[in-house]
Amino acid sequence: GLRVTQEGSRVTQEGSRVTQEGSIVTQEGSIVTQEGSIVTQEGLRVTQEGSRVTQEGSIVTQEGLRVTQEGSRVTQEGSIVTQEGSIVTQEGSIVTQEGSIVTQEGFRVTQKGSRVTQEGSRVTQEGSRVTQEGSRVT
């Protein structure tokens, strides 16, 4: 139920103020509309999933990832995050959650920077096969 203060403000049992429109102002300063939408003090609307919607309409997830109009999640650096949690860099390489890197051409990149083909052969960044004493290195 609601009660009325001496100043005439309506408040909830928990002490949150109620606006004339029926929205609730929480003790933290956020506004909860009658429809259940939440607007923070900074003017950001909060979705049911906990994401925030900026005044420009951009969505920012709880993890700080921006969501594009197409539904892609984007890091602050501009890389896209896949549904599986892998990151697609601006160059087109994929970084898995485990830290493995796969180039746009499909090469897996080793920690030393050489690339490994799908067949398991190592190649340099220029595409030459890596050999050791004339033999192919896998």
For residue 49, being part of any structural domain is answered with yes
CA distance readout (Å), 21 to 8, 17, 77, 122: 15, 12, 40, 67
| Portion of the chain with pLDDT greater than 70, in percent | 62
CA distance 94 to 72: 15
Asked, for residue 120, whether it belongs to a domain, the answer is yes
For residue 46, give its domain range. Answer: 28-134
In a domain, 97, yes or no: yes
For the chain, the 3-state helix, strand and coil shares in percent, each to the nearest 5, are 0, 30, 70
Q: Is the pLDDT of residue 30 over 50?
A: yes
pLDDT in tens, 40-94: 776 667 666 777 776 666 677 777 777 766 667 777 777 778 878 888 887 788 8
**Res. 137: pLDDT tops 70:** no
- Give a yes or no: residue 16 inside a domain: no
* 118 assigned to some structural domain: yes
pLDDT band, residue 134 (cuts 50/70/90): very low
In a domain, 18, yes or no: no
Task: Give residue 105's pLDDT.
Answer: 77
Contact 94, 101 (CB under 8 A): yes
